[in-house]
Amino acid sequence: MDSIRQPGFQMTSQVKGQGLSRSEEEESGSEHDDHRSRDGFCEGVLAEEELDHEEERAEGERHEEELLEKYSLWEDEEALHLLDELFEALRPHMRRLELGYEFLALDAPVPFASSCPNGAIYFTRALLQSLEDDEVLFFAAHELAHTELRHYATRRRRLSDLRLQIPAPIGSPARARMEQAAVLTVRHQEEFEADSQAAEWVGSDPGVRALQRLHSLCRRVSPESLQRPTHPHFERRVQQLARGLPFPHPLEYLYSLIT
C-alpha cells in the first residue's frame, strides 16, 4: 500500500496546519469566493445538496458586499472601457442571463479578479494596469466560467461526495487531515475547470501566458498571495493547461496533497 494512504501520513506544506478563512481567499490572483461555514466538517458524513438558484444569488450578494466593504470601486475611464470590450467578447458564452452579468473594477493594489455567484465579476486596478488586454480576457473568462459552471452552488455537494470516499475512520487524526485535504481538492478542481473552460473560449496559449504573467506579477507585488492554499500552484495550473490534462479523480488528487 502507498505510504500516503497509511494513517500516520503527514500533510504537505500546502495543507499542513492551514484552515480556510476569508483572508486566505482575497488577494490571491484569480479569486473565487470561500465561506468557511459551507466547508465545515461534522462528526458524521451526511450527503449535502447543491444550493438552489435563490441561495446562490444571495451568497453572491453577500460576497459582493464584502468586496465593496474592503475596496472602493475604481471609476477609471480607460479601465471601464476595457471591461466593456471584454464583456462584449465573452457575451456569447453567457448562458445564465437571469443573473445580469456585470464587469466592475476595484481600486486595489493587489492583482486579482473575483466572481460573485450573482453575476458580478470584479477586477482590481493592479490586474488591469499590469497585464495585457488578452491576458485580462483570460481571467475574465476564468471568472465567468466559475459562475457558468455553478462552482459555488455545487461546492458543498462535491465536498460531501468526496468525503464519502475517504477510507480513514471518522474521528481519527488521519481522517481529519484527509478531510482538510478534501476541501482543497474541491477548490483546486474548480480552478482547473475554470482554466480549462476559459481556454476553450479564448485559447490555451493566451491562457498559459496569462497565468505565467500573473505568477510573475504576484511574486513581485504580493508574494504572500502565493501561499494561499485555496488555489493550486501556478506551475501546476500552467502544466495542466499547456498539456490539456483533465482533472484527475478527486480522491487521487487528494492523495497527491498529502505524504
- Cell digits for 18? 492551514
Question: What dihedral do alpha carbons 171, 40, 197, 82 form, nearest 10°?
Answer: -150
Q: What share of the chain is helix, strand, coil (3-state, %, to 5)?
A: 60, 10, 30
d(CA 140, CA 123) in angstroms, rounded, equals: 8
- This prediction has a pTM of 0.84
Q: Which domain holds residue 112?
A: 3-256
Q: pLDDT, tens digit, for every residue of 76-116?
A: 999 999 999 999 999 999 999 999 999 999 999 999 999 99
The two counts, helices (H) then strands (E), for the chain are: 11, 4
Count of domains in the chain? 1
Q: Which residues pair with 106 in a beta bridge?
A: 73, 124
Residues contacting residue 88 through CB under 8 Å, at least 6 positions apart? none
pLDDT at residue 151, rounded to an integer: 98
d(CA 80, CA 142) in angstroms, rounded, equals: 19
Q: Which of 23-27, 141-145, 173-177, 218-222 is least confident?
A: 23-27
- Cell digits for 116? 460573485
Calculate the CA 259 to chain-centre distance. 24
